[in-house]
């Protein structure tokens, strides 16, 4: 009887234990199922942040737009591909490999069929791939650390990264490229070499720098196979198996080279060679200091660069031990990427966007190095250090969160400013060309994006992105003469330049959209008048203007004289030199150089006014009025000329009737300016 009671009690307790175990198992499964969906959080954060950029832009500026001119290049190719079935920049007439990212252009074409608004189309692609990149980052950390929580924390830090969030709404291919790089990296660390090769080849279609990742994978595979002592899968594969896995990579990559070669006769896009040639001679020292060191040690990377250096230390340690770690890929890619730009193209462009693909690998290196550092401290010190280590981890994560979030307002402001900058210059000029030129007009310019997309005119590219025959001549001393002949050959009717790119002198622009720094000017092409300043001469002019602003007039004069030795027929340099001499009250030299400016360009409004002002200061009222009259013939509404003419008629001629005429004119102009 007693035995039965004990058995019954035991069975009851066993049942309770099984029920409790089942409940705990269910709770654990529920928790595991929940953590499986952690990747949704950074994905949604990245998407939300991108959408907020667009919302903020619309609220603050009132119009949508792009912070760069290049997005319209992709859109122009996409539009022509749909309308004419040709990878062309004008109807089906300029078939060329002028897109740095054929894959992004093809994606834009597909989206163009579904979404007609060019901005929503481009924002959608950029934001979606930014979200997908955050998702892949989660999977990479999960695979590397076997921790969902660690993956969640890092992927949130990635999703909130200000520079990457900005570029997601730039209309450029950067987030697509970053996504493909990360996806290839993910497959590689899973030792899925087939898919890693396929995605790496696709990344080259997104940007040619994908070849850098292919090179790094090749180096790491060699190290894995012949150097590292770890039990890696690559050691078990036979050569035939490796070659078999490489076939799709080779086919896709060959297709990319063939595509470019058939379109333009080169294995890489025109853009690659054009930008290398244009920026040839750029200071590598400045690139290293400004574009690399300043960029990767900026406020939002306050701790990351220290952790990256820690990662370098770990790699040196592992190299001596002949042990493999995923940090080899991220560090080698980051350093090689920067090194190749340092050698080939020491220029990172606006927002340092050329270096942005390094950011996720830079952050990954720092995060994993930090994790390894915590593990080392845990095993190095005796006793339970979990409270201290957790505090250290939370502190570092909190600082990174703070620096990212605190930088977002400034990044939003920078994005809005850049969009407005392009809207009031590039878009405005494009619409002016559409309304004020004939449909068969041919426009030469160096910023080919918005002008082609909105004007509908045929574009001739002055830096060779779509016209590769220009590229070999970019650094010619007689480049201006080459362009003149090239314009005649291509029946150019107008050319549009930004003054700090190609400074056109001895000719007045027919349209200037905004009268402030970085003038974007429209000129009629007159072969007998075209004179483009050599870049070196323009550089000296810009340095002179900086010195004038600092009131270092003597230094400015030296820069301007250097400029004249390179470009002696520049009316603008003579104007600047004459004006600077007048500032130091050397009126004889001022008169000499201003007259030289007018010999080169008689209709030069500013030179006529400035010479009149010099004569006025010399008390030569008759000559002053003579040049003021010429200035008003050129522009009857030139306010400084009218004001000086009013002073002369009032103080020296005592002519109330004429004075009143100028006073009324000045008042009308001021009223228009206020309105």
Structure tokens at 446: 């160096």
> With contact defined as beta carbons under 8 Å apart, do 453 and 75 qualify?
yes
Rg over alpha carbons for the chain, rounded to the nearest Å, is 32
Torsions phi, psi for 443 (to 5 deg): -110, 125
pLDDT value at position 185?
A: 97
Averaged pLDDT, 660-666: 83
Averaged pLDDT, 544-550: 91
CA angle (148, 301, 339) in 5-degree steps: 100
pLDDT value at position 170?
A: 95
Structure tokens at 44: 């949604």
| Residue 172 to residue 565: CA distance in whole angstroms | 41
Confidence of residue 280 (pLDDT cuts 50, 70, 90): confident
Structure tokens at 353: 């966007």
Reply yes or no on whether the pLDDT at 31 is more than 70: no
| Residue 511 to residue 496: CA distance in whole angstroms | 9
HEC string of 470-538 equals HHHHCCCCCHHHHHHHHHHHCCCCEEEEECCCCCECCCCCCECCCCCCCCEEEEECCCCCCCECCHHHH
Question: How high does pLDDT run on average in the chain?
Answer: 88
pLDDT value at position 333?
A: 97
CATH 1.10.10.10 fits 538-635, yes or no: no
| Residue 313 to residue 11: CA distance in whole angstroms | 59
Q: State which H helix or E strand residue 469 sits in.
A: none
Confidence of residue 264 (pLDDT cuts 50, 70, 90): confident
Task: Lay out the sheet containing 520-524: strands in order across.
Answer: 458-461, 442-445, 494-498, 520-524
pLDDT value at position 658?
A: 80
pLDDT value at position 675?
A: 58
Averaged pLDDT, 378-402: 82
For tokens 């009218």, what's the residue?
A: 642
- Supply the DSSP string of 162-215, one letter for each residue: HHHHHHTTTTSSHHHHHHHHHHHHHHHHTT-HHHHHHHHHHHHHH-TTHHHHHH
| Residue 397 to residue 389: CA distance in whole angstroms | 12
The residues, ordered by sequence, that sit 6+ positions from 167 with a Cβ below 8 Å of its Cβ are 126, 174, 175, 351, 353, 356
What percentage of residues in the chain have a pLDDT greater than 90? Answer: 59
Confidence of residue 27 (pLDDT cuts 50, 70, 90): very low
Reply yes or no on whether the pLDDT at 28 is more than 90: no
- Is the model more confident about 179 or about 234? 179
The residues, ordered by sequence, that sit 6+ positions from 453 with a Cβ below 8 Å of its Cβ are 72, 75, 76, 79, 118, 430
pLDDT value at position 655?
A: 74
pLDDT value at position 384?
A: 62
Confidence of residue 5 (pLDDT cuts 50, 70, 90): low
| Residue 198 to residue 192: CA distance in whole angstroms | 10
Torsions phi, psi for 172 (to 5 deg): -105, 170
Cα-Cα-Cα-Cα torsion 567, 569, 572, 576, nearest 10 degrees, comes to 70
Neighbours of 597 (CB within 10 A): 27
> With contact defined as beta carbons under 8 Å apart, do 67 and 170 qualify?
yes
Name the β-bridge partners of 95: 88
pLDDT tens-digit profile of 60-98? 999 999 999 999 999 999 999 999 999 999 998 888 888
When mean pLDDT is compared over 8-22, 116-130, 505-519, the highest value belongs to 116-130
pLDDT tens-digit profile of 601-648? 999 999 999 999 999 998 888 898 899 999 999 988 888 888 888 888
Averaged pLDDT, 464-487: 87
| Residue 75 to residue 121: CA distance in whole angstroms | 10
Region for 443 from its dihedrals, namely left if φ exceeds 0, alpha if ψ lies in -120 to 50, beta otherwise: beta
What percentage of residues in the chain have a pLDDT greater than 70? Answer: 94
pLDDT value at position 33?
A: 54
Q: State which H helix or E strand residue 365 sits in.
A: helix 359-380
Kindly report the pTM of this predicted structure. 0.87
For tokens 């400015």, what's the residue?
A: 556
pLDDT tens-digit profile of 511-527? 998 877 778 999 999 98
pLDDT tens-digit profile of 177-189? 999 999 999 999 9
pLDDT value at position 20?
A: 46
The domain spans of the chain are 41-419, 437-524, 538-635
Averaged pLDDT, 493-499: 92
Confidence of residue 228 (pLDDT cuts 50, 70, 90): confident
What is the dihedral sign for C-alpha 515, 518, 523, 526?
positive
């Amino acid at each position: 009887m007693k035995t039965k009671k004990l058995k019954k009690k035991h069975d009851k307790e066993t049942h309770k234990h099984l029920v409790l175990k089942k409940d705990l198992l269910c709770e654990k499964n529920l928790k595991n199922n929940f953590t499986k969906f952690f990747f949704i959080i950074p994905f949604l954060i990245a998407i939300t942040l991108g959408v907020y950029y667009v919302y903020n832009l619309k609220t603050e500026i009132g119009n949508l737009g792009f912070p760069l001119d290049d997005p319209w290049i992709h859109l122009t190719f996409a539009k022509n591909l749909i309308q004419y079935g040709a990878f062309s920049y004008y109807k089906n007439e300029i078939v060329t490999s002028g897109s740095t990212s054929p894959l992004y252009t093809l994606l834009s074409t597909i989206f163009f069929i579904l979404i007609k608004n060019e901005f929503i189309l481009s924002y959608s692609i950029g934001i979606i791939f930014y979200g997908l990149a955050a998702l892949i980052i989660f999977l990479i950390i999960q695979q590397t650390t076997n921790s969902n929580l660690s993956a969640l924390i890092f992927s949130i830090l990635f999703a909130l990264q200000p520079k990457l969030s900005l570029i997601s709404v730039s209309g450029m291919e950067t987030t697509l490229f970053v996504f493909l790089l990360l996806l290839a990296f993910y497959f590689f660390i899973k030792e899925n070499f087939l898919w890693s090769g396929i995605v790496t080849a696709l990344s080259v279609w997104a940007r040619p720098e994908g070849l850098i990742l292919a090179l790094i994978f090749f180096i790491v595979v060699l190290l894995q196979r012949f150097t590292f002592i770890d039990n890696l899968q690559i050691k078990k594969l036979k050569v035939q198996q490796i070659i078999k896995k490489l076939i799709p990579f080779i086919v896709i990559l060959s297709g990319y080279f063939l595509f470019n070669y058939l379109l333009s006769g080169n294995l890489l896009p025109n853009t690659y060679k054009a930008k290398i040639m244009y920026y040839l001679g750029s200071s590598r020292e400045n690139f290293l200091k400004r574009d690399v060191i300043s960029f990767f040690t900026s406020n939002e990377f306050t701790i990351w660069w220290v952790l990256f250096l820690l990662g370098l230390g770990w790699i040196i340690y592992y190299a001596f031990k002949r042990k493999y770690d995923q940090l080899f890929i991220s560090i080698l890619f980051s350093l090689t990427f920067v090194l190749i730009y340092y050698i080939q193209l020491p220029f990172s462009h606006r927002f340092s966007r050329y270096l942005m693909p390094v950011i996720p690998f830079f952050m990954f290196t720092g995060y994993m190095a930090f994790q390894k550092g915590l593990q080392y401290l845990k095993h190095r010190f005796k006793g339970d250090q979990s409270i201290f280590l957790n505090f250290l981890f939370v502190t570092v994560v909190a600082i990174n969160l703070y620096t990212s979030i605190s930088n977002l307002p400034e990044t939003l402001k920078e994005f809005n400013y850049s969009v407005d900058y392009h809207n009031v210059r590039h878009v405005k000029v494009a619409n002016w060309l559409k309304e004020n030129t004939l449909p068969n007009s041919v426009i030469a310019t160096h910023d080919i994006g918005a002008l082609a997309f909105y004007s509908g005119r045929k574009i001739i590219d002055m830096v060779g992105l779509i016209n590769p025959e220009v590229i070999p001549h970019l650094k010619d001393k007689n480049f201006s003469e080459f362009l003149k002949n090239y314009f005649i050959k291509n029946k150019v009717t107008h050319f549009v330049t930004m003054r700090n790119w190609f400074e056109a002198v001895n000719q007045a622009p027919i349209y200037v959209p905004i009268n402030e720094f970085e003038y974007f000017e429209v000129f009629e092409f007159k072969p007998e008048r075209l004179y483009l300043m050599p870049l070196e001469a323009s550089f000296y002019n810009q340095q002179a203007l900086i010195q004038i602003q600092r009131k270092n007039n003597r230094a400015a004069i030296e820069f301007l004289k250097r400029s004249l030795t390179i470009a002696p027929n520049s009316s603008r340099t003579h104007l600047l030199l004459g004006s600077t001499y007048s500032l130091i009250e050397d009126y004889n030299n001022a008169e000499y150089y201003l007259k030289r400016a007018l010999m080169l360009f008689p209709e030069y409004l500013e030179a006529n006014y400035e010479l009149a002002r010099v004569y006025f200061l010399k008390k030569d009222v008759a000559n002053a009025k003579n040049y003021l009259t010429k200035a008003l013939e050129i522009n009857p509404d030139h306010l400084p000329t009218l004001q000086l003419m009013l002073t002369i008629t009032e103080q020296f001629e005592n002519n109330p009737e004429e004075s009143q005429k100028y006073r009324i004119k000045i008042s009308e102009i001021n009223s228009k300016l206020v309105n």
